[in-house]
Chain A
Amino acid sequence: KQEVTQIPAALSVPEGENLVLNCSFTDSAIYNLQWFRQDPGKGLTSLLLIQSSQREQTSGRLNASLDKSSGRSTLYIAASQPGDSATYLCAVNEGYSTLTFGKGTMLLVSP
């Protein structure tokens, strides 16, 4: 059974810092990996999707990498801002849109 682990569980940084969120998964037979953002009391917003054949994806200040063979992904956030404060969720797609999620990393960026 696929298991997804996210480290750290919570992170607090001052504004302007670059930071890395980590995600690991136990079964490398995945279709893709997605990073989502969840604001308190709200649904999930998709940030980046990396297909299994890709190594990384970039969107603005966000960069996600994927090392399928080692079962790892990182989400890099450059020049963090208070508006980046949210919970970040990693999910792997094992086929037919069966997403397995990690518990998330709660990020707080202070002004």
Chain B
Amino acid sequence: ETGVTQTPRHLVMGMTNKKSLKCEQHLGHNAMYWYKQSAKKPLELMFVYNFKEQTENNSVPSRFSPECPNSSHLFLHLHTLQPEDSALYLCASSQHSGATTDTQYFGPGTRLTVL
């Protein structure tokens, strides 16, 4: 196991629902990330948090709202999603965003289906 956990592992929601994805890292890292992996597309970086501060928002629609209450927990709040938002959402953590040797450790992902 990588030390990064994500819940739930699977989620089916309607377009009018509100749900949240949770990520927790047990590695003592300072940086956390959300990625989106759609079929036949490369992983896309969504958000980066470094020491609980958001340092990157990669032009993500406002229907995705991240929250990082501390360096061990990361949430992705979802509301009024579209079917094209169906994807595997991956969380990752690393020791420090910016170091040239920084390696990211990934969680198992949440498979999201929007009906």
Contacts and interface: CB of A to CB of B under 8 A. Distances in A.
Interface in A58-111: 89, 91, 93, 95-104
Contacts of A51: 100-101
B100 A52 contact: yes
A43 B107 contact: yes
A97 B105 CA distance: 12
A4 interface: yes
Contacts of A102: 42
A44 B41 CA distance: 15
A41 to B, nearest CB: 7
B69 to A, nearest CB: 21
For A43, A49, A103, the residue with the greatest tally of chain B CB atoms inside 10 Å of its CB is: A43
Q: Is the interface of A mostly helix, strand, loop or mixed?
A: strand
A103 B40 CA distance: 7
Interface size for chain A: under 10, 10 to 19, 20 to 34, or 35 or more residues? 20 to 34
Contact of B45 (A43, A44, A46, A99): A99
B104 to A, nearest CB: 7
A48 B42 CA distance: 19
B4 interface: yes
Closest 5 CB pairs of A and B: A43-B106, A44-B106, A101-B43, A101-B42, A97-B97
Interface of A: 4, 31-32, 34, 36, 41-46, 49, 51-52, 89, 91, 93, 95-104
24 contacts: A4-B42, A41-B109, A41-B111, A42-B108, A43-B90, A43-B107, A43-B109, A44-B106, A45-B2, A46-B105, A49-B101, A51-B101, A91-B43, A95-B98, A97-B31, A97-B102, A97-B104, A98-B56, A99-B45, A99-B104, A101-B43, A102-B42, A103-B41, A104-B42
Interface of B: 2, 4, 6, 31, 33, 40-43, 45, 48, 55-56, 90, 92, 94, 97-98, 100-109, 111
